[in-house]
Amino acid sequence: MITILALQDAPPTPLPSLPVWLELAAMTANCFFGARLARVRGIPVAGTLMAGIFVGLGGGIFRDMMLNLEPTAIAVWYYIPAGLLAALLAGMLPSDLRRFETPLLATNAVVLGLLVTIGAQKALSYDAPLISAMFLGVITASFGGFLADSMAGQQATIAKQAHWVLAALMAGAAVFVLLSVSTPFLIAEIAGVATVAGFRFFSQFRNWPSPFWPGTRPQKGSPS
């Protein structure tokens, strides 16, 4: 098992955290968005449902494994059924939802912000170094999408740096972790979520080009 931290038996440091229902809601909503993307790509029913589960729960499962913990999404019975229901709903909706594009984008941006801060806070509660907590926050929000993209034979969104997605996750994780050591939890939480959501929403809504190294030519098909 891959680990970055100490023993599984080590008790977590008591830290403020979001309610369990909010974490469940964020992961379930991400299952919806993962399945929705698979539906738009024309993936069959079973693949769509699996993509939803990967996107919504995969990052949290991998985070817990890296912390040498029993994955919450596996140990708690209602995470997978909730994710499947969300994925099923996404698959049953019409493929063309352009009239709802803006509210869906805004919701997705907030969900990603919540997942980043939830993942980073859990890492901090198990005494992970600050940089590791930032990394695990990004993993929580992105690793499932990486798996789903790989399963569909697509270049990973975070690898394409599409509309600053990865930059948004990294910035939000850094803001949350750095503020969490010096400000009340709620302030750090709001700032972290707002950073991710702001970058995620406006970079796509305004179609900001993704940053490349000087002298690098974007690959053909890049969103930039």
User: What is the distance between the alpha carbons of residues 160 and 203, in angstroms, rounded to a whole number?
Assistant: 14
Is the pLDDT confidence value at 222 over 70?
Answer: no
- pLDDT confidence band for 171 (50 / 70 / 90): very high
Higher pLDDT, 165 or 96: 165
Query: In the prediction, which pLDDT does 29 show?
Result: 95
Is the pLDDT confidence value at 182 over 60?
Answer: yes
- The answer to whether the beta carbons of residues 195 and 168 sit under 8 Å apart is yes
Query: In the prediction, which pLDDT does 93 show?
Result: 86
Is the pLDDT confidence value at 49 over 70?
Answer: yes
User: What is the distance between the alpha carbons of residues 129 and 175, in angstroms, rounded to a whole number?
Assistant: 15
Share above pLDDT 70 across residues of the chain, in percent, rounded to a whole number? 81
- The answer to whether the beta carbons of residues 52 and 35 sit under 8 Å apart is yes
| Average pLDDT rounded to a whole number, residues 47-73 | 92
Two structure tokens written together for 39: 């539906």
Widest distance between CA atoms in the chain: 50
Query: In the prediction, which pLDDT does 42 show?
Result: 83
- Burial class (CB within 10 angstroms; exposed 0-12, middle 13-18, buried 19+) of 223: middle
Higher pLDDT, 150 or 170: 170
pTM score, two decimals? 0.84
**Residue pLDDT, tens place only, 137-159:** 999 998 887 777 666 666 555 55
Among 132, 3, 144, residue whose Cα is nearest residue 60: 144
Q: Which amino acid is at 152?
A: A
Number of residues that make up the chain: 224
